[in-house]
A and B are shown apart, each in its own frame.
Chain A
Amino acid sequence: MSPDRALSRRLKGERRRVALRSTLVQAVWNYDSLQAVGFGWAILPGLERIRPEPAERAQRLHAHLETFNANPYLATVAMGVTLRLEEEIARGAAGAERRLARLLRALRGSLGAIGDDLFWASWRPALGVAAALAALATGSVWPAVVYVLAWNALAQGVRAAGVRAGFAAGAGVARVLQDPFWAGARSGARLGGSFAAGAALGAGAAWATTGGGGWGGAAIFFALVALLWLAGARVGPRGRILPPALAFLVAVAVLGAIRHWTAGAWP
């Protein structure tokens, strides 16, 4: 059997269970150890196989309960890497424990940044804009259904594939993540999000000029404004002028009150 094939078969069932458990990686998210408890619980099936002796297993589990954080969908890559290096540690490989600790520290930053750009800053706004506009135009429940299916096809797919990819890369994962492909992917994802915002602006403007009006017109206007806000949040300076919620409440209260006052109709 080739080394690659042997590697892909190792801990196969356990890796599946790890991927499934990774759905709860944020269950005990807190300000001290972040995702560490969820991370430790998720990799337990693999540790159980690697370390049959409970006392040794508890010791290794404890080492993973200090601090961990990453994008929740990409955290599985770190889980795969951990299982691979835990095998080396169990075999007594020199420096493996230190290497794993260093790798996990590095992965926290890079998996967080890549995941945030791909999922939160691009894929979700793009899908959300498309679904919101489709829902406003049709009044149908189907855009919401497609939104959930499309999100999960990517996000849960990445989650499932992450353990396998991390396990296959092992300590080489740092080299993989330094590949220019990821910088390109992040840049492309940001462009995709901007393209979605622009497409929505065009669609909304077309609808408004061809006779949306009424309640629907107000809704599309609101959508356009929110998109402008979104574009501002991503392109402009990082410092806040006003917290969005406070700005919005102030605008509602002050301008609504002025309008009512000028209409001479205070209750």
Chain B
Amino acid sequence: MTGAEFGALTALGAVVFLDQWPAVQTMISRPIVVGPIVGAVLGAPTDGVLWGAVLETMALAVQPVGAARYPDAALAGLLGTAAALTGFHEGLFPAGWAVVVAVAAGAAGDAVGRLQRRWNGRTAAGVRARVAAGSLAAPGRGIAVALSRAAALGALQTAVGLAIVLAGVAILGSSAWAGWLDARALQVAAAGMAAVGGVRVLGLEGRRSAAAAAGALAGFALFAWGGP
């Protein structure tokens, strides 16, 4: 990855962080959109489209309803696609690697989002105090501060994430672990997700739920392992 590509993806990280919840919410932060953009930046637009679609299906399971906490789908889409494409360039079969990066990025981005919300609390308290003192410009200034901070956080978390992805690719790509997180592992892991989802559909709880999850996991794993 060149410096220009790194810089472009970092800038993209700032934009999608803003779009995810602080500003406008046009959904350009969804993996289905972020994937093709990352692909275009890294010179593999078609692969970016496919990875964006796969990571979108992961993010579809999460709905920001009510007070739910949810992973950062934008960062997951950006870093997951970047991991897949750079891993492929380095001879590392990228499927499992990309998904693991996406899941970890989603969790890390959620933590950064909560931090931003806490800082926003201080900004909001300051705005209220200034408006009480008669300032009508305070809300506008507060919004400018919050958006600038969000953009900076988005860029920072993307830059750190990209550095970790590049380091991971360098370590995994040149080791005997290359190929460990391969397509079959992806299928097996996906079977695990199916088992949990299946148990929810059945509506089982308690021990029956645990037994059904274990059985479903084993059945799906065996099928994925030896299936066509």
Contact = CB atoms under 8 A, between A and B. Distances in A.
Contact of A116 (B26, B65, B99, B185): B65
B143 A27 contact: yes
Interface string A128-158: 1101110110011101100110011001100
A252 B181 CA distance: 8
B75 to A, nearest CB: 13
Interface stretch (B1-9, B128-136, B159-167): B128-136
B62 A244 contact: yes
Contacts of A132: 32, 53-54, 56-57, 60
**Chain B contact residues (Cβ within 8 angstroms of A): what range?**
35 or more
Contact of A121 (B50, B65, B106): B65
B213 interface: yes
Given A24-B23, A72-B25, A222-B54, A36 B140 contact: no
Given A226-B58, A241-B200, A54 B134 contact: yes
B60 A232 contact: no
A255 B96 CA distance: 12
A223 B60 CA distance: 10
B112 interface: no
Contacts of B193: 225-226, 228-229, 244, 247-248, 251
Contact of A241 (B96, B191, B209): B209
Contacts of B61: 226, 229-230, 233, 244
B60 A125 contact: yes
B139 to A, nearest CB: 4
Nearest to B121: A30
Contact of B121 (A32, A124, A151, A216): A32
B183 interface: yes
B32 A143 contact: yes
A37 B57 contact: no
Interface stretch (A10-18, A56-64, A87-95): A56-64
Interface string A99-118: 00000000000001000100
Contacts of A65: 124, 127-128, 131, 139
A267 interface: yes
B124 A135 contact: no
Given A124-B27, A232-B197, A255-B188, A37 B136 contact: no
**Main SS class of interface, A:** helix
B100 A252 contact: yes
A181 interface: no
Nearest to B18: A27
Contacts, number: 293
Contacts of B184: 259
Interface stretch (A38-46, A160-168, A170-178): A38-46
Nearest to B177: A267
A264 interface: no
A62 B129 CA distance: 9
A195 interface: no
Q: Which of A33, A57, A152, A222: most chain B Cβ within 10 A?
A: A222
Nearest to A231: B201
Contacts of B134: 54-55, 58
B54 A223 contact: yes
In the complex, the 9 A-B pairs of residues with the closest C-beta atoms, listed nearest first:
A251-B192, A236-B200, A232-B200, A267-B176, A229-B197, A232-B197, A41-B139, A30-B121, A135-B53
Given A124-B27, A218-B187, 4 more contacts: A120-B63, A215-B95, A219-B50, A231-B201
30 contacts: A23-B23, A23-B25, A24-B23, A24-B24, A26-B23, A27-B143, A28-B123, A30-B124, A31-B118, A58-B131, A61-B136, A65-B131, A112-B66, A120-B65, A132-B53, A143-B49, A148-B33, A215-B95, A223-B53, A225-B197, A226-B58, A228-B194, A236-B199, A241-B200, A241-B213, A248-B103, A251-B189, A251-B217, A255-B185, A256-B181
